[in-house]
Amino acid sequence: MLFLVIVALLDVATGLVFSRLSHMARGGDTARNEYICNGTSEDVLVFGSSRAIHHYNPAIISQLTGMTCYNCGQDGNGAILNYGRYHLIAQRYQPRVIIYDLMPEYDILTGEDNHKFLGWLRPYYDRDGIADIFERVDPKEKYKMMSQMYRYNSRFIQMLTDCVHPMQDDAVNGFRPLEVEMDTMRIGERPPASSIDSLKVFYINKMLDEASRNGTRLVMVVSPYWSGMDTTICQPVKELCQSRGIPFLDYSNDPKYLHNNAYFADGVHLNARGADEFTRDITEKVKTMLKK
């Protein structure tokens, strides 16, 4: 009994310490996640995967629209995390515009274990509506989340580093440009299309619904690929957008970017030059949309 009491106290203490550290982070993804979930107040928010964080320059969006902007993209994540973050943000305020960069592997298709996409939401499990996301991914998560250690167990080192000396502190308004030239060795083959992940599409649909209900203008975008993409795999989300009158802008096969080494870091990601050019293109579309 004494051992169990000590473990329980240690678990609670660990949760309190790391919750405090997340607020104290000086930079890196810890501070960035905390700001996205608890601090954003910008007019325009960008959501998506690594193709969002590397493809949209908030400074250019602000310059061309006169609105403030923050990039909420996250490497290796899609609809499940993005909906959770949006839900937390919407409890505080309603952004004027959301630009969502759609990547089929993370937003539509089956692939990696969906537990992966819960990591950045675990510290906010007790917030309204977040537990339901965990329940849909895996009903057993509610038992694991009783442990405060479990909520932070994959990020101990990163959180400590981000409080002392962040390894990634180069983000400007959430944007991380890839200051490199095209690496042809990293073009690779596009993975074959897999089956539809109904949970990912569910959260895309839920985000579209809530944004529309809250008066936020949402734009769904497929940003450029070096070798293009078979866009039929985006059809489920395209139909959801069409049914609500939400713009769906597909640049995946745009000839301006297709096979253009000057604009890419690899086969999937634009470099800094390409990101700036693409941001200008997409911002002009958003400006036209806002005038309607």
User: What pTM was estimated for this model as a whole?
Assistant: 0.91
Comparing CA positions, the residue from 88, 79, 83, 80 lying closest to residue 141 is 80
Residue written as token pair 């009903």 = 139
Per-residue pLDDT at 238: 95
Per-residue pLDDT at 154: 73
CATH number of 2-291: 3.40.50.1110
Per-residue pLDDT at 288: 87
- The count of other CB atoms within 10 Å of the CB of residue 188 is 11
Per-residue pLDDT at 163: 75
Per-residue pLDDT at 200: 97
**What residue spans define the domains of the chain?**
2-291
Angstrom distance (rounded) from CA 61 to CA 46: 10
User: Average pLDDT of each block of 10 consecutive residues along the chain (292 residues)?
Assistant: 83 74 77 93 97 97 96 96 98 97 95 91 93 96 88 75 71 90 72 84 97 95 94 94 95 95 94 97 90 72
Angstrom distance (rounded) from CA 233 to CA 111: 14
Per-residue pLDDT at 244: 93
The torsion region of residue 202 among left (phi > 0), alpha (psi -120 to 50) and beta comes to alpha
Per-residue pLDDT at 188: 65
CA 17 vs CA 3, 24, 27, 156, 159: distances in Å: 21, 11, 18, 11, 11
**Residue 45 phi/psi, 5° resolution?**
-120, 140
